[in-house]
Amino acid sequence: MPRAFVFDAYGTLFDVHAAIGRHRSAAGPDADRFSEIWRSKQLEYTWTLTLAGSYLDFWTLTERALDYAFARFPSVDKALKPRLLDAYLELDAFPDARIVLRDLKARGEILSNGSPKMLAAAVQAAKIDLDAVLSVDALRIYKPRLEVYALVTERFKLAPSDVVFVSSNRWDVMGAAAFGFRTAWVNRAKMPEEYGPAPTTVLADLGGLLTL
């Protein structure tokens, strides 16, 4: 039986496309592609900065990725920027995330690229209960560097095998598995398998965690 379930935040517990979803009509016909670019550049910046030995907090990268999305899609009114950023601080939690975090018998924690300000706002807005929220900001490097996953074992004095790490991001699952965590890939989008090591389990949604 795992002693802790550790969750990625963005894309796993919180819907990263909820911000544009709240302003879809104002964003226009390119809203979905705009949101995809915003998310992909946000992640790209974390990887490239970490590889270069540099760091900017996740909120700064979120804003810069949004600026890039506006540049790629001039059809989307730049006047939406403040509203989209405000919405990103209060992303909707997936319905299954609320249920699982309520029903889990083991300890539940977040380990996220998000800055402390972002995570505090998201957790409060979503009204979800967690035992701890850990941010990469403490190390100033981003996942999937192995040092990030060590934040969990060092904080709670656990062996990696005591932890089930849960993420919808396959690259994040790769890093957690390489560190030695048991892993659950929440493959909401039915993406093909890639990377290695393989996840311990693959789930269609978070509800499957309750059977582990």
How far is it, in rounded angstroms, from Cα 7 to Cα 155? 15
Helices (H) and strands (E) in the chain — how many of each?
9, 6
What are 108's strand-pairing partners?
5
129 included as an active-site residue: no
| Alpha carbon 129 to chain centroid, angstroms | 17
For residue 94, give Cα distances in angstroms to 14, 43, 70, 90.
Answer: 6, 20, 26, 12
At 121, the amino acid letter reads A
For residue 2, give Cα distances in angstroms to 26, 53, 104, 129.
Answer: 45, 34, 11, 18
Nearest CA to 87 out of 12, 39, 21, 10 is that of 21
How far is it, in rounded angstroms, from Cα 9 to Cα 110? 6
Q: Which of 8, 92, 137, 172 is catalytic?
A: 8
What are 203's strand-pairing partners?
186
Catalytically active residues are: 8
